[in-house]
Amino acid sequence: MQNRVVVTGLGVCAPGGVGLRQFEKMLSEGKSGITFFPELEKLKFGCQIAGKPFIDHIDLNQYFTNVQLKGLNASGLVYGVMAGMDAWRDARLDASNNTDWETGVIFGTGILGVDKFRDSIYLVDEGNVRRLGSTAVVQTMASGISAFLGGMIGAGNQVTTNSSACSTGTEALLMGFERIASGQASKMLVGSCSDSGPYVWGGFDAMRILPRNFNDTPEKASRPMSASAAGFVPGSGAGALVLESLESAQQRGATIYAELLGGAVNSGGQRNGGSMTAPNSEAVQRCVKMALENTKVSSSAIDTINGHLTATAKDPIEIENWCQALDRHGEDFPYVNSFKGHVGHCLAAAGSIESVGAVLQLHHGTIYGNVNGEDVHPEIAKRVGESKIPKKTINISPKIVAKASFGFGDVNTCVIFSRFSDY
């Protein structure tokens, strides 16, 4: 018998939703956190809009010491620490004065400290290497985020960083789940983060896969499952969840948001239609089916899908893959939503930010609407009843939510959350 794993803490630092309360309000009201950036216009980007958490009003002394703040210039690390520590405090947990051998951290990222790395290059090229300071390494190494969080909470179990493009956050969830389910840990702080700024978003703009006709109307730009979708809007931020064995959570009287039943991870091998930038449909379907098999959940039990659904030409293909994997279509299809319309595509942070939203749906007994989803793509409408793609938040309480992420490199993750029941 494996240990049951529950979610006892949530933290988020997202475009338009910094902090759990603001994030939930944004999702519930169908608001967009995507804005115009004059900097991108000045740099002659085609897409001059993006999603970035605005944290200028936040007192970072709540999260960092004065020593840590000195020379701090790594946006993803800041977002990750904010989300991670908010989740830890939300779970009513304190930093241990001693090493906590039962607690670990798995916090992923795609790239960390781009701006700090740029500053460091200039200093080195100018022969001013001594001016780099003592924090340049920890701000630019990929595992800097998990190292920061591990030290802040005194984690003595596994402390590591994973990286698998857009699947990073959901993959971290399953890595933490496996550690607790197998009895190797009692608590795991999991999540992911992504840097913001032109040096992160520039490559995508060069690929011409970002929308270029919404610079004057940024809140309309990210259009998942829409006939007028014109590409994904780049975003940034972080999401974090505290996973805990049910026994540990019940012993300390923790609030339980949801149960994480498990899931599956695979790759399409960049074969049969899969590539560095596109998923292999067979692999996507296999991943969903494996997640159901691993969690012993029937396809008919899925109430809601929170898809990857990035507002590109691939959205109809993703919906078709869900139809095939679940063997459900039309009015029999589950409710489906995407949070990309709210926050854009937050890259490595996407899976964790969206997982926080998926869990909130179970906790609050609601299904959030799709922003900019008024003109459903005709290929999607053929396969799925439009009533299953809510345009506004609906008060229907889901019991089982499937959350999926598909990343560059043809990698896939599907996790299954359920409403908690003490059976």
Q: What is the pLDDT of residues 297-328, one digit of tens each?
A: 999 999 999 999 999 999 999 999 999 999 99
Q: pLDDT at residue 25 above 90? A: yes
Q: pTM for this structure? A: 0.97
Scanning 182-280, the segments in alpha helix (DSSP H) are: 198-206, 246-251
State whether 268 and 357 are in the same domain.
yes
pLDDT digits (tens, 9 = 90+) for 102-160: 999 999 999 998 888 788 877 787 888 877 777 888 888 999 999 999 999 999 999 99
Whether 283 is covered by a domain: the verdict is yes
**Residue 137 DSSP SS3:** helix
Domain termination site, one of 242, 258, 274: 258
Domain that holds residue 12: 5-258
Specify the CATH number for the domain of residue 307. 3.40.47.10
56: left (phi over 0), alpha (psi -120 to 50) or beta: alpha
Closest CA to 215 of 370, 33, 40: 40
CA atoms in the 13 A half-sphere facing the CB of 257: 23
Work out the widest C-alpha separation in the chain, in whole angstroms: 66
Domain termination residue (choose one: 227, 258, 289): 258
Split into its structural domains, the chain has a count of 2
Give the pLDDT score at 129. 83
Q: Is residue 17 one of the residues assigned to a domain?
A: yes
Residue 343: pLDDT over 90: yes
54-91 per-position pLDDT tens digit? 999 999 999 999 988 988 888 999 999 999 999 999 99
Q: Are residues 232 and 292 in the same domain?
A: no
In-domain check, residue 423: no
**CB-CB contact of 144 with 81 (8 Å):** no
| Rounded Cα–Cα distance for residues 317 and 278 (Å) | 10
DSSP 309-348: --SSTTHHHHHHHHHHHHT--BTTSPEEE-SHHHH-B-GG
Shared-domain flag, residues 20 and 114: yes
Looking at the fold, whether 316 and 251 belong to one and the same domain comes out as no
Q: Are residues 69 and 216 in the same domain?
A: yes
Token pair for 292: 């159901």
* 341 in the same domain as 211: no
Looking at residue 118, its pLDDT comes to 83
Among 208, 223, 258, the domain boundary falls at: 258
